[in-house]
Amino acid sequence: MSFRTNLVRARGHIVFLVALVIGLLLVLWLETLGDPPDPNAQSEGPDLMQTFDEIEPLPLAVRGESSGDDLESARIAWTYFENNTIEETGLVNSVDKYPSTTMWETGSYIVAVLSAERLGLIDSEAAEARLSKMLDSLRELRLFQDTLPNKAYNTRTLELVDYANQPSELGLGWSALDVARIVATLGLIERNHPALAPQVEALLDTWSLDSMVQDGELYGTNVVAGEVQLNQEGRVGYEQYAAKAMMLFGYDVYRAYEVRNDLMVQMVEGQPIPVDTRLHRGTTPAFVVSEPYLFDGLEFGFDARSHRFATAIYRAQEARYEDTGILTAVTESHLSEAPYFSYSSVWGGGSPWAVMTFQGERIDSRRTIATKAAFGWDALFGTEYTQTLVDALKDTADPEKGWPEGIYEQSGEVNGSTTANTNAVVLAALAFKAGGPLMRKVEE
């Protein structure tokens, strides 16, 4: 039988196979079609990290010494902690004269003590006494469901409280990010005051830290209508800072530290900004602020990835100033008026430079030139622009009270809320200028 005859007999099968191949090629071709790529966003995937690999990180600006102006700024910041330390408990108010705190602000107090010591504002004996008293009080706290610290406590009575600082039998739940924040600073205590390590370890032995780590991620709890709900916590920036903290104490938080699976890039002022693809509170596009990157650099020292992320986030703020003449140093801030707290973002809620409440409402009129962002970026990168920011805020300091949150961009008025977080970052920034990250011991 000839080849031609066989070919004729098999023509039906051949036609079917050819059609199948053509159909497959057509599907693949159609999948490459669609809307043109958005120049302001890139799709998810490992290749996104190449965007940041191409960034040349700004050099760090450790000066190795403190100027007279630095020490005066530090003294003003330390005044906040002198005024707000509760003698009976050794804890510090999160906001001036308001006897409430969280684990986040308590971590900031630890940073303030270690920074003040490094700057020579207090001696080692005084620093150790403050830290020891605080650790004793933390051991006395009633934990949320006997597991982890509640989201808020009264600094005078050590009572577990709600956000109105009223005693609460059940409590608010625990925040994985807040707990990780204080865990980070407990690691700083062990590094800088080894004599206190047994006290730190005894405290951590009473906390069930493994309850907030599941399959490499961080989980917190919320109380909704009397029911306790477990929820994943952390978005790009905050999540990696918290993961570093937990790694210090041997916890496997590989998913929390990795960013690739939850990363998108939004271009802001020509800079690629790392944004989380997950929603804030399940409803609002996540936001990017300076704070977690400041903490990372000032306390731990940047890793290669966070250094590049921080460089892009800083440069976007500098570029906004160059383009508009508007001083820009954005992060989360307390406010001197309702709603009393906001996230001033580089990108958030679906657009650049959005200012949002925790609930995700836009309040752009409350954008603040943040004191802690100005001092933090100046310590880390020391550019002409960061010096301009610090100079613009100098007159807002109150030598009897501390540094306020900053200046409202729109009105030019001082955002007069005065907090532990801001004054701690000012101290950490000035300590960094003199000796680098707090995790690195300074040679005597």
CATH code at position 135: 1.50.10.140
Q: What does each C-alpha distance from 163 to 94, 102, 150, 167 come to in angstroms? A: 12, 10, 11, 10
Strands, E, within 187-331: which ranges?
Answer: 213-214, 217-224, 227-232, 263-268, 271-276, 279-280, 284-285
In a domain? residue 82:
yes
Q: Using CB atoms within 10 A of its CB, is residue 427 exposed (0-12), middle (13-18) or buried (19+)?
A: buried
In a domain? residue 28:
no
Q: Which domain holds residue 408?
A: 42-435
In a domain? residue 358:
yes
In a domain? residue 3:
no
In a domain? residue 61:
yes
In a domain? residue 233:
yes
pLDDT of residue 443: 63
Rounded distance, CA 193 to CA 81, Å? 20
> Domains in the chain: how many in total?
1
Low-confidence ranges of the chain (pLDDT < 50): 1-8, 10-46
pLDDT of residue 444: 54
In a domain? residue 5:
no
Q: Please tell me the pTM assigned to this model.
A: 0.89
Taking phi first (over 0 means left), then psi (-120 to 50 degrees means alpha), and beta for anything else, what does residue 159 get?
beta
DSSP codes, 58-105: PPP---SS--HHHHHHHHHHHHHHHHHB-TTT--B-SBTTB-EE-HHH
In a domain? residue 15:
no
